[in-house]
């Protein structure tokens, strides 16, 4: 039997397993392209959690009440935890965290472009929770059923916390909507700035999306970018009405026939510009991550050196 | 000083210490040497902030007139803050962060352990709730002191530099002032004089394990507990209080 026939057989068995809704586990055979796709996607996701700590961390020190400060600090800490679960899930595919970090710090790996926008006011913190965590949840709920076991399981834990984040964000905005004139202005301004970037979080439209078809066949994804985006818009419009804010899209209206909201055209030039590094914060986000990594090098090295010394001492004592 | 004024001053000292140190640790969130450390430092910050809130709530009740925890955290000036100077010292690098933490935790654990026996029921209750967290903080910061002191040559140097600077601020921790004196007779306050010897004993034990040299000067900086602070505190408060001060009366 030739090698290619062998692989064709393995691939068929793999696909049958996926089709039968059985999870693929780390020790199972998988096509090299499936592994690569997952490493790319999971690590992008992990990097997004970690870089996402920065725009929100920007307001921890200035949070307007002790209650809000504690909640925000805990939220950003959750995101660090999400980063850890996801790096661990990626490591089951045969790559380690150092390599993944390297890819992030050299700009080789991407993270969600949304975190390249600045958090200018306190209202941005509520809006990020409501819209950004909200959009992330759409995607992540789908991923709890993804075909790769460790990724799906990480998502189950993460989703619980994300929906809490979204509620927490919405609650910040509710307080602003019931506040002073200045607070209501702050709220509307933040929604104006975050609405379109949030819609872009679902990625290019289906016609433009390069990886989508294969990912659907492998059941890494189960819904298309446009489908998820539509679900997000449908769920969000009513929440905006309840808040008393206007979503900055004159074309946004209910379409009785489709049973969905229609919405305006996304500025894809902006989307691609930010993906390619020309967003307002791309350079600073990476610079900050790099600085933390470099400043921490002596700490990581010392911890390792100490562990080695300790092991050596124990060995000596064992002999003596 | 009468008992009521002294008690308020005392509770604020404890609350301010936690808030200021919690804020310093929160500065590290997203910037720590590795993710696990980021999470651990944030945990300590969250514990301290939680304890600070219980203490401010108690202080607000003592003040009365509808005073809230946020009034006390956001509308007092640097001259009114009562924390010891050590906790306001900046995160010059991770060595400062971890040593500041250790020098404080070692004191704090002895302090809260004693505070469990306070004749003030509310303080005793807060102490009981906090002590488990504080024990964990001390274990964490002491372990990291040893790890970084007895790590590489570079890490030992950095720790020694931080220690030489921060040592000066240990004097104040176990030195009683008028407030302590007033509350000592009624059994509310912890007898700080009693903590001094065990504190320095414990600190020196860990420093030895960390192969660090105890600085050869007597620490002497004082004043935080009376509201006389380093230049660092004003900046910390400016950032912490900015929104409340910019929009007075707004609800968040
Ligand atoms: Fe997130
Ligand atoms: Fe997350
Ligand atoms: Fe989140």
Of B23, B33, B244, the CB nearest to A61: B23
Indicate yes or no: CB of A305 within 8 angstroms of CB of B152. Answer: yes
Indicate yes or no: CB of B30 within 8 angstroms of CB of A57. Answer: yes
- Considering the domain architecture, whether residues A240 and A313 belong to the same structural domain is answered as no
Does residue B106 contact residue B206 with C-beta atoms inside 8 Å? yes
Domain assignment present for residue A123? The answer is yes
Nearest CA in chain B to A302: B151
Indicate yes or no: CB of A182 within 8 angstroms of CB of B45. Answer: no
- Quick one: pLDDT band at residue A271, thresholds 50, 70, 90? very high
The residue with tokens 């009114």 is B80
State the total domains in chain B: 1
- Considering the domain architecture, whether residues A228 and A284 belong to the same structural domain is answered as no
CA distance A16 to B48: 53
Of A66, A83, A298, the CB nearest to B35: A83
Provide the sign of the torsion angle of the four alpha carbons A200, A202, A206, A212, taken in this order: positive
CA of A71 to the centre of ligand 2 (A): 14
- Considering the domain architecture, whether residues A286 and A161 belong to the same structural domain is answered as no
CA distance A139 to A159: 10
pLDDT digits (tens, 9 = 90+) for A68-97: 999 999 999 999 999 999 999 999 999 999
| Among B residues 25-84, those touching chain A with beta carbons less than 8 Å apart | 26-27, 29-39, 42-43, 45-46, 49-50, 52-53, 56, 69-70, 73-74
- Considering the domain architecture, whether residues A263 and A286 belong to the same structural domain is answered as no
CA distance A105 to A287: 8
- Considering the domain architecture, whether residues A191 and A293 belong to the same structural domain is answered as no
CA distance A40 to A36: 6
Q: Phi, psi at residue B221, to the nearest 5°?
A: -65, 135
Indicate yes or no: CB of A296 within 8 angstroms of CB of B46. Answer: no
- Considering the domain architecture, whether residues A58 and A40 belong to the same structural domain is answered as yes
Domain with B93 in it: what CATH number? Answer: 1.20.1260.10
CA of A87 to the centre of ligand 1 (A): 14
pLDDT of residue A317: 86
CA of B64 to the centre of ligand 1 (A): 41
pLDDT of residue A318: 83
CA distance B19 to B70: 11
State the total domains in chain A: 2
**Of the listed ranges A2-11, A15-24, A111-120, the one predicted with least confidence:** A2-11
CA atoms within 13 A on the CB side of A281: 18
Chain B residue numbers with beta carbons less than 8 Å from the beta carbon of A60 are 26, 29
Domain assignment present for residue B86? The answer is yes
- Considering the domain architecture, whether residues A89 and A177 belong to the same structural domain is answered as yes
* Alpha-carbon distance A44 to nearest alpha carbon in chain B (angstroms): 16
Domain assignment present for residue A3? The answer is no
- Considering the domain architecture, whether residues A163 and A263 belong to the same structural domain is answered as yes
Domain assignment present for residue B82? The answer is yes
Q: Looking at the whole model, is its pTM more than 0.90?
A: yes
Domain limits at A315? 280-319
Tell me the average pLDDT across B239-247: 98
- Quick one: pLDDT band at residue A5, thresholds 50, 70, 90? confident
* Alpha-carbon distance A287 to nearest alpha carbon in chain B (angstroms): 11
Tokens of A188: 């509307």
CA distance B68 to A275: 45
Of B36, B45, B150, the CB nearest to A309: B150
Domain assignment present for residue A2? The answer is no
Domain assignment present for residue B34? The answer is yes
Domain assignment present for residue B20? The answer is yes
- Tell me, what's the ipTM? 0.98
Domain assignment present for residue B252? The answer is no
- Considering the domain architecture, whether residues A308 and A194 belong to the same structural domain is answered as no
CA distance A244 to A228: 24
Domain assignment present for residue B251? The answer is no
Domain limits at B50? 3-246
pLDDT of residue A1: 52
Rg (CA), chain B: 18
pLDDT digits (tens, 9 = 90+) for B186-222: 999 999 999 999 999 999 999 999 999 999 999 999 9
Domain assignment present for residue B192? The answer is yes
- Considering the domain architecture, whether residues A247 and A294 belong to the same structural domain is answered as no
Tokens of A227: 């489908």
Domain assignment present for residue A71? The answer is yes
- Considering the domain architecture, whether residues A187 and A285 belong to the same structural domain is answered as no
Nearest CA in chain B to A64: B243
- DSSP letter assigned to residue A245: -
pLDDT of residue A213: 86
Domain assignment present for residue A1? The answer is no
Domain assignment present for residue A128? The answer is yes
- Considering the domain architecture, whether residues A88 and A29 belong to the same structural domain is answered as yes
Domain assignment present for residue A155? The answer is yes
Tokens of B239: 């950032």
Domain with A48 in it: what CATH number? Answer: 1.20.1260.10
Of A62, A122, A298, the CB nearest to B155: A298
Reply yes or no on whether the pLDDT at A320 is more than 70.
Answer: no
């Amino acid at each position: 039997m030739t090698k290619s026939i062998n692989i064709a057989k393995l691939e068929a068995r793999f696909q049958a397993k996926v089709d039968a809704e059985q999870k693929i586990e780390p020790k199972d055979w998988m096509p090299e392209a499936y592994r690569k796709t997952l490493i790319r996607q999971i690590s992008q996701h992990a990097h997004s959690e970690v870089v996402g700590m920065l725009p929100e961390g920007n307001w921890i020190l200035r949070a307007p009440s002790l209650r809000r400060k504690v909640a925000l600090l805990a939220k950003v800490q959750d995101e660090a935890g999400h980063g850890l679960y996801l790096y661990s899930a990626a490591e089951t595919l045969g790559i380690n965290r150092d390599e993944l970090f390297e890819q992030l710090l050299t700009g080789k790996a991407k993270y969600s472009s949304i975190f390249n926008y600045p958090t200018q006011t306190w209202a941005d913190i509520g809006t990020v929770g409501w819209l950004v965590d909200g959009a992330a949840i759409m995607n992540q709920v789908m991923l709890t059923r993804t075909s790769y076991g460790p990724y799906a399981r990480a998502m189950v834990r993460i989703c619980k916390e994300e929906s809490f984040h979204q509620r927490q964000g919405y609650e910040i905005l509710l307080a602003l909507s019931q506040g002073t004139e200045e607070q209501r202005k702050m709220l509307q301004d933040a929604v104006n700035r975050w609405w379109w970037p949030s819609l872009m979080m679902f990625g290019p439209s289906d016609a433009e999306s390069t990886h989508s078809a294969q990912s659907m066949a492998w059941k890494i994804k189960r819904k298309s970018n446009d489908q998820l985006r539509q679900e997000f818009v449908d769920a969000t419009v009513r929440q905006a009405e309840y808040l008393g804010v206007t979503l900055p899209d004159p074309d946004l209206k209910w379409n009785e026939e489709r049973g969905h909201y229609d919405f305006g055209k996304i500025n894809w030039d902006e989307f691609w510009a930010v993906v390619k590094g020309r967003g307002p914060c791309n350079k600073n986000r990476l610079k900050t991550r790099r600085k933390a990594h470099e400043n921490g090098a002596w700490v990581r090295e010392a911890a390792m050196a100490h562990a080695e010394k300790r092991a050596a001492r124990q060995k000596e004592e064992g002999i003596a | 000083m009468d008992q009521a004024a002294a008690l308020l001053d005392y509770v604020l000292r404890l609350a301010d210490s936690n808030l200021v140190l919690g804020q310093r640790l929160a500065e590290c969130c997203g910037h720590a040497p590795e993710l696990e450390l980021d999470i651990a430092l944030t945990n300590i910050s969250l514990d301290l902030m939680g304890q600070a809130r219980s203490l401010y709530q108690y202080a607000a009740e003592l003040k009365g007139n509808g005073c809230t925890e946020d009034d006390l955290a956001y509308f007092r000036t640097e001259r009114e803050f009562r924390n010891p100077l050590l906790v306001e010292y900046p995160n010059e690098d991770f060595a400062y962060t971890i040593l500041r933490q250790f020098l404080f935790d070692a004191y704090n654990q002895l302090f809260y352990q004693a505070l469990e026996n306070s004749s003030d029921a509310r303080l005793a209750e807060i102490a009981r709730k906090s002590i488990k967290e504080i024990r964990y903080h001390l274990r964490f910061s002491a372990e990291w002191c040893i790890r970084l002191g007895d790590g590489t040559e570079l890490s030992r140097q950095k720790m020694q530099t931080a220690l030489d600077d921060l040592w000066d601020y240990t004097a104040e921790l176990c030195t009683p002032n008028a407030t302590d004196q007033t509350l000592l007779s009624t059994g509310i306050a912890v007898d700080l004089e009693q903590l001094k010897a065990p504190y320095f004993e414990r600190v020196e034990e860990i420093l030895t394990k960390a192969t660090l040299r105890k600085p050869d000067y007597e620490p002497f900086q004082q004043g935080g507990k009376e509201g006389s602070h380093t230049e660092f505190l004003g900046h910390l408060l400016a950032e912490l209080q900015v929104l409340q001060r910019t929009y007075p009366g707004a609800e968040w």
